Structure 1
Amino acid sequence: MSSTVVLVTGGSGFLGQHVIKHLQLHSSNLKEIRVLDLVPFRKKLEYKESFPVRSFIGSITNKNLVREACNGTDAVLHIASLVDSTLFPNEKALQEVNVKGTEVVLEACKVNSVPILIYCSSISIYVGHDEVKKGTETTVPIPHKFMFEKYAKTKLKAQNMVLGANGDILKNGKELKTCAILPLAMYGELDINLVYQYVSHVKGTLIPRIPKLGKMEAEIQVSYVGNVAMMFVKALEVMRKGVDIGGEYFYAADDTPLQTLPSLLQPYLDGTGHSFSSWYIPLWLVLILVIIVQIVMGIIRPWKKVNTYFNIEGIRFLNKTFHVTYEKANRILGYKPIYNLESSINNSNVYYNSVLNK
């Protein structure tokens, strides 16, 4: 296998940092790892560096910059994205980054004859208002209405664009091969969203026993970020060997047990003096409160751009069972989670304790 230059867009972010770590630890014959991000790449995780890293600073919507980063590149892991599940998502920014940015990356791959493009999509494009249990890539349909409508629409459009380009002819006359990895909600080192956001908000309250928003009995599925990162490495490895997985997509799940949100968060709340109570606010009442908040903020927004993660979609998501398997990735990519539950939790605890107890 010849030496390969790999470009990781969004490599300075949460998942991107872990992808670069696992490329360094588990890849062979890499000539260079390139990172394209809005901020310079700075190594934030502990690992031995085996390959040089080169940083390109700027937006994936910058055609000249993306072309420069792709020049001489053999594979692109396109992870850069905007995630916005707030009450008032920025639709223009979502379209600009997730759709236009992906168009720019795709075009740069063709012009520079980059033969491999692996796209980081999102499980949100399959999350609707119906329950899903042990779903697979062949059994879970795209919902009629997305749970997180504005964000999911842009990710679906970008995924279709990338997978639809599989087999397109590059400038050098060879074919482009594409696939997509669909992460679930993730936890672990550098997380500033899932566990971090919830525990931060709970710590900021004066109530030691936090009431649940609805019964919160739904089984929530999350994945450790290190295992998700490893799926990108396995996909790259398979495609470098010439195995044709073009046009395929894979759910990036692992063996983290299904659990309710209170069960997921409690280990990280133990040192804060807070816990979830056994009683709950009825879901219908929570939704009424959310609507009131939405109305009030809607009135204020012309003068002050207020926003919140407290919204109807988020509350419904936390009360809706949705889980999938990684059987397809195991069968086709040879993927198995390299971190078991104990190591995933231990690694995460060290990080969360360091940032949440400051």
Structure 2
Amino acid sequence: MSKLKRNVLRSRWLQLAEQMKAEDLGALLLTDPADVRWLTGFSGSNGAALAITSGAPLLATDGRYADQSAAECPDAEIIITRDLIEQLLLRLRENSATALGVDPLSLTLQQFRTISAHPAMFGVRVQEVESPLRELRMVKELYELDRMRKAAKVSTDALRKLQGMIEVGMSELHVARTLEAIMGDLGSEDRAFPTIVASGPNGGRPHHQPTTRAIEAGDLLTIDFGAMSEGYRADCTRTFIVAAEPEDWQADAYFAVKRAAASARDAAKAGAKTSAIDAAARKVITKADLAEYFVHGLGHGIGLNVHEAPLLGASSAGTLEESVPFTVEPGVYIPGKGGVRIEDTCVIQPDGLEILTEFPRKLLRVG
């Protein structure tokens, strides 16, 4: 582990400790995998952490991850056990904490009841809190942005390679798996999320799952995908026309979405309301008489999770700030006919908007 990474982790512990002190929390239980990774560096699939204000966090994981946790988390105290939460609660007593914060969104009801009734919690107040890590994780460090840039470049490089490989008659599943293999060859540790490939009428479903449907000439073909670098994700969508000139309705939908995305990117400035950025895109699509087919919010934050704060929607609260990556992804989905989505991962920098997933936004022909 590099010295930089260790310094990054120590800085995060200090930031979290300050927030916990402000909320009068001596300890905070973390069970969400992204929270655990952000705080401790542990990337395994089974871990929980106890953040304390008096020092380094405690990480609990099972024996499968003994070597991995030691390598990834050299400054955390590591507990190897099958009973992650119980062992962390037992250690809580040793740290003399009088209040334990738990995030109900990251726990099952049974887990919460078990924690509240555990003998180790005698005299310790269990407090439901919105995890302060949501705010801390939202603003990305340079270390994090570098990894997101890498994930974005792998994503767009892979799409460029895929373009020339798409043929009429290929199935949606074939396209999806080919793209994922290319991303792996280019260095992606995993896909950021299950790849969406929606052809023809399947494009009318915003989150269509790829099928064996064969791509046909004249289809609109939407591909929503992303690579991953050290846990950090990219999210990109492009819609293509397959082996034909677009019909009028296809061109109208595409260029409305393209203009909407550009309008939203223009509105995305530090301090701008997230709802106003959504409104900028929605206004364009409404003017094109396609408002009924734009059925989701404009975008979302992204990082260790593909969907995280902030949300960009018509009723979302809050503002955008510098160093907060987010997506801009307006779409039009016409049931039974097809759909269009154009999506980029972006971040506001001191000198303006940086688009991480840079790739042509004109209606490209494939096949």
TM-score (norm. length: structure 2) = 0.31
TM-score (norm. length: structure 1) = 0.31
Q: Which has the higher contact order (CA 8 A, sep 6+)?
A: 1
When Rg is computed on C-alpha atoms for both structures, the one with the higher figure is: 2
